[in-house]
């Protein structure tokens, strides 16, 4: 089974293959992933980077503009680059690797994040047998944000051997655009900062413009951020996990920007649940139509989870979503 489930992740924690600055992992263990949390160490930096064979501590000295203490609520400004050390550290076995992705809320707030490892040659992947700290690059894009230590913006999932071995099926994912109905939200340019700890707090109309098309299409403008939903209803059984990947550029002049991971139990009802998609146009405006393909959902097998699957019982925020904004909005 390539994806590790909750119990298998917990076993890695017991063996201290995963350990943390915090005394416990509290509610960080999800059905098939682990939430990563911010430590109090953070830096505003001049540029993004891949460490390769350079120590991250050395890169921080070269690129750091300001050191930030996350023990208190801190403003991260829109379009600035930050690097934060995470609480979690790894000492992985030779046959287990990790891959990180933004959490759903992170994607819906247009916060661009990616995990960096010591000697890493690409973002978000943690190699087999990796031992060391994890860092998170954070770039708020549509909104300035307020956060503090122990907040989670990303999650990591773990694979035994190769994740490709357990792929059992894939389906195409397209956008749903409905004439004369709210079909998307577009982020407004000038807003106040969003405190990520305030749930069901902000009025959506101050931050988002409703898109109500007159036909089964609309134009996504250059460098604007949109929230849409998939046409397909998704069902992930208790012995499955899934990952959404974008199609190649040849399918459209836009970028799909989303969390991309679906836990066991997501939409596991008679009707299923749509995926929420975040889109940006590239260098030019682009017309997007109902049913236009944007990605492919890959299903993987996993040891079946008997309890604490994704859903209302573990207080999952988006278990009943349709076209839903981040949990900070009313």
Q: Clarify whether residues 129 and 275 are in a common domain.
A: no
Per-residue pLDDT tens over the stretch 10-30: 999 999 999 999 888 878 999
pLDDT beyond 60 at 89: yes
Least confident interval from 75-79, 107-111, 252-256:
252-256
Contact 261, 221 (CB under 8 A): no
CB environment 8-36: b (16+ within 10 A), e (fewer): bbeebbeeebbebeeeebeebbbbbbbbb
Residue 187 and residue 203 in one domain: yes
- What is the tens place of the pLDDT at every residue in 239-289? 889 998 877 654 556 677 665 788 888 887 778 889 999 988 877 899 999
One domain for residues 132 and 155: yes
CATH of the domain at 81: 2.70.40.10
> What stretches of 247-326 adopt beta strand conformation (E)?
254-256, 261-262, 273-281, 286-289, 293-301
**What mean pLDDT is predicted for residues 162-168?**
67
- In this prediction, residue 213 carries a pLDDT of 97
Phi, psi of 50 (to 5 degrees): -115, 125
| Helix segments in 164-245, DSSP class H | none
Choosing from 117, 139, 165, the residue where a domain stops is 165
135 lies in the same domain as 54? yes
Of the residues 132, 165, 198, the one at which a domain ends:
165
Q: Are 214 and 262 members of one domain?
A: yes
Q: Please report the pLDDT score of residue 305 as a whole number.
A: 76
Kindly state the percentage of the chain with pLDDT values over 70. 90
* pLDDT recorded at residue 304: 81
Q: Are residues 303 and 179 in the same domain?
A: yes
314 pLDDT band (50/70/90 cuts)? very low
Range of the domain at 305: 167-314
- Please indicate, yes or no, if residue 196 is contained in any of the structural domains: yes
pTM over 0.85: yes
With bands split at pLDDT 50, 70 and 90, how would you rate the model's confidence at 308?
A: low
Q: How far apart are CA 328 and CA 276, in angstroms?
A: 16
- The Cα–Cα gap between 110 and 150 comes to 20
Shared domain for 135 and 186, answered yes or no, is no
Counted domains in the chain: 2
Question: 325 lies in a domain?
Answer: no
């Amino acid at each position: 089974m390539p994806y590790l489930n909750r119990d298998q992740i917990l076993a890695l924690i017991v063996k201290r293959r995963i350990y943390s600055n915090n005394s416990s992992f509290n509610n960080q263990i999800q059905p098939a992933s682990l939430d990563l949390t911010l430590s109090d160490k953070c830096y505003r930096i001049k540029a993004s980077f891949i460490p390769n064979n350079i120590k991250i501590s050395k890169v921080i000295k070269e690129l750091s503009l300001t050191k930030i203490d996350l023990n208190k609520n801190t403003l991260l400004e829109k379009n600035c680059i930050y690097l934060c050390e995470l609480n979690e550290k790894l000492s992985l076995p030779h046959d287990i690797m990790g891959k990180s992705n933004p959490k759903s809320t992170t994607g819906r707030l247009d916060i661009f994040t990616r995990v960096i490892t010591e000697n890493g040659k690409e973002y978000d992947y943690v190699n087999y047998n990796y031992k060391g700290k994890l860092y998170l690059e954070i770039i708020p894009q549509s909104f300035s944000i307020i956060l503090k230590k122990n907040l989670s913006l990303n999650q990591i999932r773990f694979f035994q051997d190769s994740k490709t071995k357990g792929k059992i099926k894939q389906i195409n994912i397209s956008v749903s655009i409905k004439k004369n109905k709210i079909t998307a939200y577009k982020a407004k340019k000038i807003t106040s900062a969003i405190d990520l700890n305030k749930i069901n707090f902000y009025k959506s109309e101050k931050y988002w413009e409703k898109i109500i098309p007159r036909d089964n299409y609309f134009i996504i403008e250059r460098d604007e951020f949109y929230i849409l939903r998939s046409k397909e209803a998704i069902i992930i059984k208790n012995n499955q996990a899934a990952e959404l990947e974008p199609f190649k550029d040849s399918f459209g002049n836009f970028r799909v920007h989303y969390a991309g991971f679906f836990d066991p139990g997501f939409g596991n009802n008679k009707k299923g649940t749509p995926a929420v998609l975040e889109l940006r146009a590239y260098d030019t405006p682009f017309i997007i139509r109902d049913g236009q393909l944007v990605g492919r959902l890959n299903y993987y097998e996993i040891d079946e989870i008997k309890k604490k699957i994704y859903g209302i019982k573990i207080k999952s925020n988006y278990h009943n979503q349709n076209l839903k904004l981040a949990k900070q909005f009313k």
